[in-house]
Structure 1
């Protein structure tokens, strides 16, 4: 039986090599490809995660089951030349959240099927999140019920995992907004208190023991806490090491564990490095990557209109506006203000809820039309400077080919490099 490479992550800071790992939370093929290309020359494994809303037995918003997602990622790895031995697949917020509108017994039965499918498909990093109330329950459950339900899901994962495969590691704790993002603007955050972190650890340890899952609990490697980082539609809350000092001081009392930081999107490279050095060794990023890709798409969209005005039925941006207006459920309750303000948020919000729409057939068609129009030709440096200014220096220096696909991948690579630099000193 092979050891999970993340099992020893708590000891990484004390030895040569990486001190942490980025967690790439996306199902966009170009983001995954860019992350593979960025990670390949480093000493890091590549951790790619799917969420419960994104991938589940019912298809999620991507239409993929866990087995589908594994094949999807492995196909990209084959095209990119990324070795499967360095690939780690994770499941995020695995629990009843997609079905919380149902009574708890039904929602948990669905969650059991989901985590069974994740484990059976060879996902080896599993975040157990049963903190949300179901139909008729409080919005947030107490620690005892949350941990008991988490242990129930861990038992299912242990029973379903391939016996000759890599044993999964587990993440516990849920002190973050629900998967999909917060409904409100972010004005301030309360950092998780050290007592709360220690209590979460203790109640889960006891719940696992009561369920006969001591071996599974020995593979709990991380605790999700709120370090004081988040983003809203228009703003980013930056990491303040002083504000998280007490929380960080509690980590040695939980041997073998690191903290997992969610919503680290849009943090500066220095802030990401500080998070890793303070024990937040797993850095989740998702919307920040698709936001960068959308920026590149829209820059290329503008370049296409300069070079080939009127050659398409509509621009990519116009197509995406139509796609989002036709199916508002993924943005309507999250974006507020006047019609003009909501229109701006649909395309440019940090929450990047446009990411839910890229798999839609009309969106795929519009992106394909854009790239077909631009083809493999070299785009004018002056237009790259105008519409993709952040990439201009590398184009000007000859480090980056001035072609559409290379530019889009490079936009994601720039963000990914911040995470790699934070984790590899």
Structure 2
């Protein structure tokens, strides 16, 4: 993880550089991120969240070791050096086991942390901000810090046992809801500089109480709320003037930057401002699967027009039907009814449709569509209609006409924005 530490040092020295963390488990999104790294000759930070990937498989069915091997295999295929590849764990703590008593939830969290470190993940977000069964709501800051230190101790013990690079840590409790908020007010309260200082102080004290003083130097980031968020159809954009005090505070803290979550869908210039203002680690994910969904829906239209309804895979209709039959991943989030619910399920910025692409029935339809359009490539006129940017890339000879290349390039429209903001790309493609 030395390249990440070097980047943080460059940032702290005044260079406006950062890194974006791709939080997604879909292979097409992962390939896009890895290809962006190859194009930029830059670091690629891939993160798995505790609900995506855990010792029980998470909603992806992957353990930390499975996910680590998947990403490494894709990186090898694409030609990204392992030295440029960084893997992290996001929201590692009792998030998945909040329904259990705290003792049981923390035991499972310890197993989770150990599994991530043992697999090779070396950027660890210690997130114990959630209350478990029997806990007060909200959980007190001292208890949050104590539990985070306890998990850090497990991570250190695991690392000392398995070897490799020393883990780097992210702390902080002001984490936006993963995947976007349910409903937004007109603006968000930016974290107060005094609250950020208190979080750092309490965690440092908790670390010291467990004999982890030497580890504190490897805490590289603090999660705060910079005033950005999104819900189903609305985005709160970054307002730099509201984060001035917070930004100036972190300049006084050696070796540490801010990590900003839910930064998807911001204006291009906002990402540059966030990095400049020391939110040097940008967590992203739904905007990437949102772009992938746009590409898949576009190709579904291309396929039906090109090959006819009888031969087409009907991918879009298939995923709509599966979402109706198995609403577990969206029904608690989309409270509207009728046509508005349809719009939420299909087009929401929170992109809960992303949970369904790996469903066996949906995946089978996707594979059929990919095979159809590979065996019988569509004419450029249809590509121009539904994927105009990708069509121009095809005629420039930058990508092939195969469906995977088209999808990945669509996702890379987003990764290019992040790369420019983080100092990786200087010119528009």
Taking structure 1 as the reference length, what is the TM-score of the superposition?
0.95
Q: Which stretches in structure 2 are left out of the alignment for 5+ residues?
A: none
SS, match of residue 22 in structure 1: strand
Cα gap change, 1:376 to 1:406, in 2 (>3 Å): farther
Give the stretch that moved more between structures: 310-319 or 62-71. Answer: 310-319
Q: Which of these residues, 8, 11, 18, is aligned with residue 10 of structure 1?
A: 8
1:11-410 paired onto structure 2 within 5 Å: 11-13=9-11, 19-161=17-159, 162-185=161-184, 187-312=186-311, 315-375=314-374, 377-410=376-409
Deviation at 1:16, TM superposition (A): 9.8
SS, match of residue 263 in structure 2: coil
Answer whether contact 1:124 1:166 (CA < 8 A) is retained. yes
For residues 148 and 9 of structure 1, the distance between their equivalents in structure 2, rounded to whole angstroms, comes to: 29
Deviation string for 1:160-189 (max 9, x for gaps)? 115530000000002122334433345321
Deviation at 1:337, TM superposition (A): 1.6
For residues 399 and 88 of structure 1, the distance between their equivalents in structure 2, rounded to whole angstroms, comes to: 27
Deviation string for 1:66-99 (max 9, x for gaps)? 1111111111112211111211110000010100
For residues 398 and 86 of structure 1, the distance between their equivalents in structure 2, rounded to whole angstroms, comes to: 27
Runs (4+) of structure 1 exceeding 6 A deviation are 15-18
For residues 414 and 179 of structure 1, the distance between their equivalents in structure 2, rounded to whole angstroms, comes to: 22
Deviation at 1:46, TM superposition (A): 0.8
For residues 253 and 81 of structure 2, the distance between their equivalents in structure 1, rounded to whole angstroms, comes to: 33
Deviation string for 1:365-401 (max 9, x for gaps)? 0110110110155432322222123434434544333
Q: Which stretches in structure 1 are left out of the alignment for 5+ residues?
A: none
Deviation at 1:15, TM superposition (A): 6.3
For residues 377 and 152 of structure 1, the distance between their equivalents in structure 2, rounded to whole angstroms, comes to: 56
Deviation at 1:323, TM superposition (A): 1.6
Give the stretch that moved more between structures: 13-22 or 265-274. Answer: 13-22
Taking structure 2 as the reference length, what is the TM-score of the superposition?
0.94
Deviation at 1:8, TM superposition (A): 3.8
Aligned-residue Cα RMSD (Å) equals 1.8
Deviation at 1:233, TM superposition (A): 0.3
For residues 15 and 379 of structure 2, the distance between their equivalents in structure 1, rounded to whole angstroms, comes to: 40
SS, match of residue 58 in structure 1: coil
Answer whether contact 1:183 1:333 (CA < 8 A) is retained. no
SS, match of residue 270 in structure 2: helix
Answer whether contact 1:236 1:266 (CA < 8 A) is retained. yes
For residues 365 and 186 of structure 1, the distance between their equivalents in structure 2, rounded to whole angstroms, comes to: 40
Answer whether contact 1:9 1:221 (CA < 8 A) is retained. no
For residues 390 and 397 of structure 1, the distance between their equivalents in structure 2, rounded to whole angstroms, comes to: 11
Cα gap change, 1:398 to 1:9, in 2 (>3 Å): closer
Answer whether contact 2:312 2:369 (CA < 8 A) is retained. no
For residues 384 and 140 of structure 2, the distance between their equivalents in structure 1, rounded to whole angstroms, comes to: 53
